[in-house]
Structure 1
Amino acid sequence: MSVSLRKLIAVFLVVAMVGFVFAGCAKKTEPSPQQQATAPKKVKVGLVFDVGGRGDLSFNDSAYAGLERAAKEFGDKIEVKYLEPSAGGENREQLLRLLAEDGYDLIFGVGFMFTDHIAKVAKEFPDAKFGLIDGYIEGLDENSNVVCLQFKEEEGSFLVGAAAGLKTQTNKVGFVGGMKIPLIEKFESGYMAGAKYVNPNVEIFSDYIGTTGEAFKDPVKGKELALKQFKSGADVVYHASGASGIGVIEAAAAEKKFAIGVDSDQSLTAKPEQRPYILTSMLKRVDVAVYSTIKDYVEGKFKGGYHVFGLAEDGVGYAVNQYNKDLISDIMPKLDELKEKIIKGEIKVPADKAQYEEFVKNLKK
């Protein structure tokens, strides 16, 4: 074989090898249609806030925290989206339907005001799953496409009520509620029961901001009611009023008295000058409810019906952080003792006014 022929064959072999290499690279970087078809489909999770929206430093922000936690933990398996309602919340149903029509697999409505809307939209989209926070729809079971996520607000409120009863110097404490409905009365009843349990002589002031959803986003009225209670001698005021509670915290700081936050740890989001006046917060773990529901769906364990979060489920509690630990360190052993008694059933916390009256009557025996 001549030298020139051997050179020609060598060149041919090199070109052929380069071709194979490029062909291999092409196969790696461009999956076949069959490979693309078998790629796992991401679960689409949507959440619609209630009035006050993200940034309310309370209920809605807690729901967002649960969504964000799930997005970080299951980022390769889910995609998330959240929507803000109009100022009065008139488009709640429209936003739920928008997510359902867009193929979202799991959709949350944040707040009891979504109850009728989710009941309606869930029937229209039986293949989608819905999480209703704080609402109640009758007749559900584990095969339903709706799960009602509820809380024993009265249990967490009992603990912060006990904190108020133990810390008051005037024997007068207050409560500011948002919308006057049975749900918020659970906060009020538990709070009053906790205060009375540890301090039978305590006097409790109670006011509500209004009778519509607007009551959860009126910080001016919240501040006005809190100031009225402080002027009447209260030195601790607990609010269950959503974004209206921003005004309650402002009033406490202005009067150099104590406020008790709600839903999320409000010391962490308050202004630095307000933090010394936030005794604690009643933690309503909407974030836990949202996260655990997403986790169940991703793992194929979603069940409809009713899921209730109390002290035993870490669904409610009281906040301890770097800003308030010195304020409540002396009463924490008592609060934790009460927590264990509630979990064991030794203390039955009232959830409405009638139960509260009976509770107080039994304390006097």
Structure 2
Amino acid sequence: MRRISRLTRAAVGAASLALAATACGGTSSEAGNGGESEGDRGLAIAYDIGGRGDQSFNDAAYAGLERAKKEFGYETADIEPTEGEIDADKVQRLTSLARQGYNPVIGVGYAYGPAMEQVAAEYPDTTFGIVDSVVEGENVASLVFAENEASYLAGVAAAKATRTNTVGFVGGVDVPLIHKFEAGFTQGVEDTDPEVEVESQYLTQTAEEGGFASPDKGKAAAEAQLEKGADVIYQAAGLSGQGVIEAAATRKKWAIGVDSDQYGQEALAAYKEYILTSALKDVGGSVYALAKSVEDGKPLTGTQTFDLEADGVGLAESNPEFGKVPGLKDAVTKAKEAIIAGTIEVRTER
């Protein structure tokens, strides 16, 4: 049977990228399929749409790879997606990494699901990981997150910060994963102040249309919501989210980032004053945790859930203005405690 586990607070805390990395020798476990492997290498990741430099989801995965590289002193690889690619391209990418001896091999994003199911079966001695999806396989770790819980906290923050009683949500692609972000955010707003309205918009129906990779689309959507009176906008849109943040900052309104603490992202420095907070998702910690498990000779498999209780998701407080909004910090703290205690059950669907 597949093993389904919820990572403990201590386990995820040990994987946190906030900890200082220590130099260490050694290589990862034996990889490859029979004699096809060209060597014994370390962690490899294959990026989702938007690639490295999105200041969000993919960059968080890269941070996890960098920590593993420094700590374990081994070779790593990170591979960009191609425009308009199909599942066959993903199969080829994952196969190439496994054949070269990388272990583990991680697909960053749910789009790698079908390809990983196929390739993992062909390379049973390699540990595979997939972020944001569940794939069956004895040698596959499915790294999933309670995005709805972090988004609930973002909704609490938005409801406390708004002055117009209108806030916005911009989703990159209209898919179940992003519905979780919207569901949690909307519930957090409603539970905090039922008088606050939420304007929601998805940029595209499919990822191939650029919903996660088009800042111009994000900017246009945010501008439309700002015209309707929104003064706080939460985006779950990958690279497209940069356009949302730009639009909000230009109008001197609040933006809420996603996945990474976008207040601290260099590429967004011009807008950081208006990034109230970010709904955090420790993708980097999950990448590192899987790499460490392989390094320790005890590879994680099955569904690994990173939730609020395990510090796998959360809400950033880097912007000093976060603590200055009346009642915001206390409301977020109480909501977090209630979610962990189970007195607030955060929905996952719209």
Calculate the TM-score normalised by the size of structure 2: 0.85
Match of 2:64 in 1: 66
The answer on whether the counterparts of 1:279 and 1:328 sit within 8 Å (CA) in structure 2 is no
Within the candidate set 184, 200, 216, 1:206 is matched to: 200
Distance in structure 2 (CA, Å) of the matches to 1:191 and 1:218 = 22
Match of 1:250 in 2: 246
> What displacement does 1:324 show?
4.3
The answer on whether the counterparts of 1:193 and 1:349 sit within 8 Å (CA) in structure 2 is yes
The answer on whether the counterparts of 1:238 and 1:261 sit within 8 Å (CA) in structure 2 is yes
1:319 correspondence with 2:316: yes
Match of 1:299 in 2: 296
Within the candidate set 225, 231, 237, 2:233 is matched to: 237
1:272 aligned counterpart, secondary structure: helix
> What displacement does 1:88 show?
2.7
Deviations 1:121-142 (A, max 9, x none): 101111111001001224x4xx
1:94 aligned counterpart, secondary structure: helix
Deviations 1:51-93 (A, max 9, x none): 1111000100000011111112222xx3211111112343222
The answer on whether the counterparts of 1:154 and 1:187 sit within 8 Å (CA) in structure 2 is yes
Match of 1:276 in 2: 273
> What displacement does 1:327 show?
4.5
Match of 2:83 in 1: 87
Larger Rg: 1
Within the candidate set 168, 184, 196, 1:190 is matched to: 184
Structure 2 unaligned runs (5+)?
A: 1-24, 29-40
Calculate the TM-score normalised by the size of structure 1: 0.82
Distance in structure 2 (CA, Å) of the matches to 1:65 and 1:305 = 23
Match of 2:126 in 1: 128
Match of 2:167 in 1: 173
1:350 correspondence with 2:344: no
Match of 1:156 in 2: 150
Match of 1:228 in 2: 224
> What displacement does 1:211 show?
1.3
The answer on whether the counterparts of 1:267 and 1:323 sit within 8 Å (CA) in structure 2 is no
Within the candidate set 95, 98, 101, 1:97 is matched to: 95
Distance in structure 2 (CA, Å) of the matches to 1:322 and 1:204 = 23
Distance in structure 2 (CA, Å) of the matches to 1:334 and 1:289 = 28
Distance in structure 1 (CA, Å) of the matches to 2:55 and 2:85 = 18
Deviations 1:242-279 (A, max 9, x none): 00001000100111111100000111115333111111
2:255 aligned counterpart, secondary structure: strand
The answer on whether the counterparts of 1:135 and 1:148 sit within 8 Å (CA) in structure 2 is yes
1:215 aligned counterpart, secondary structure: coil
> What displacement does 1:40 show?
6.0
Q: Cα gap change, 1:346/1:295 in structure 2, threshold over 3 Å: closer, same or farther?
A: same
User: Which segment drifts farther, 313-322 or 46-55?
Assistant: 313-322
Structure 1 unaligned runs (5+)?
A: 1-38, 354-365
What is the identity, as a one-letter code, of the residue corresponding to 2:238?
G
The answer on whether the counterparts of 2:76 and 2:102 sit within 8 Å (CA) in structure 1 is no
The answer on whether the counterparts of 1:276 and 1:323 sit within 8 Å (CA) in structure 2 is no
The answer on whether the counterparts of 1:97 and 1:121 sit within 8 Å (CA) in structure 2 is yes
Alignment of 1:31-70 (within 5 A): 41-42=27-28, 43-70=41-68
- Number of corresponding residues: 309
Distance in structure 1 (CA, Å) of the matches to 2:135 and 2:26 = 33
1:336 aligned counterpart, secondary structure: helix
Match of 1:34 in 2: none
Distance in structure 1 (CA, Å) of the matches to 2:27 and 2:340 = 41
Q: Cα gap change, 1:126/1:336 in structure 2, threshold over 3 Å: closer, same or farther?
A: same
Distance in structure 2 (CA, Å) of the matches to 1:114 and 1:151 = 16
What is the identity, as a one-letter code, of the residue corresponding to 2:219?
K
